[in-house]
């Protein structure tokens, strides 16, 4: 009886190792072109997060931007996500522009980001700019406004050329 149990457990382990254990393969995505940390499970999580954020029911198209950053495109919308892994535990960092859209009162597509350091990004658009800091919790990451929303100054008009006044002697 124990030999039968051991055989069944061994067969189950063998099926899991060979890929027959129900692991979902995404045939439309070539993971070899998607960076070193991505796999089918992480990509499925990214698709779920992006479909909720964008919102889009259509198939999303991924584009690898380098340094574990991915752009998801669908329904004429796009979002940028970063995969951060610490000791084998990975989480998706949301697009900072989703938060900045509210704070700056500016559409996401009109916002430009600048990575200032590993946990800080600057966002500018619609004549405003702000700095955001990434905070982590047990359940993921979120962006928090880390500065006042500054209004960009309009460039001062160029001084008119002075015309010398003719003097009479």
For 50-96, the pLDDT digits (tens) are 988 888 788 889 999 988 899 999 888 899 999 988 887 888 998 99
- For residue 126, how far is the Cα from the chain centroid? 21
CA distance 27 to 150: 46
Q: Which residues of 66-89 are buried (b: 16+ CB within 10 A; e: fewer)?
A: eebebbbebeeebbbbbbeeeeee
pTM beyond 0.75, yes or no = no
Question: Which stretch of DSSP H or E encloses residue 9?
Answer: helix 2-18
* Contact assessment for residue 50 and residue 60, using Cβ atoms and an 8 Å cutoff: yes
Contacts of 27 (CB under 8 A, 6+ apart): none
Residues of the chain below pLDDT 50: 13, 15-26
> Radius of gyration of the chain from Cα atoms?
26
* Per-residue pLDDT at 22: 39
């Amino acid at each position: 009886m124990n030999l039968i149990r051991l055989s069944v457990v061994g067969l189950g382990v063998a099926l899991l190792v060979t890929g027959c254990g129900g692991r979902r393969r995404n045939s439309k995505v070539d993971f070899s072109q998607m960076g070193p940390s991505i796999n089918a499970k992480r990509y499925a999580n990214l698709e779920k997060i992006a479909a909720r954020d964008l919102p889009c029911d259509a198939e999303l198209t991924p584009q690898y931007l380098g340094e574990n950053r991915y752009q998801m495109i669908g329904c004429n919308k796009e979002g940028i996500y970063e995969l951060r892994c610490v000791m084998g535990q990975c989480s998706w960092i949301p697009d900072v522009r989703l938060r900045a859209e509210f704070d700056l009162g500016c559409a996401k597509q009109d916002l430009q980001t600048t990575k200032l350091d590993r946990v800080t990004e600057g966002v500018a658009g619609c004549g405003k700019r702000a700095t955001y800091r990434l905070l982590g919790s047990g359940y993921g990451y979120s962006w928090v406004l880390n500065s006042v929303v500054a209004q960009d100054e309009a460039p001062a008009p160029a001084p008119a050329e002075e015309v010398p006044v003719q003097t009479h002697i």
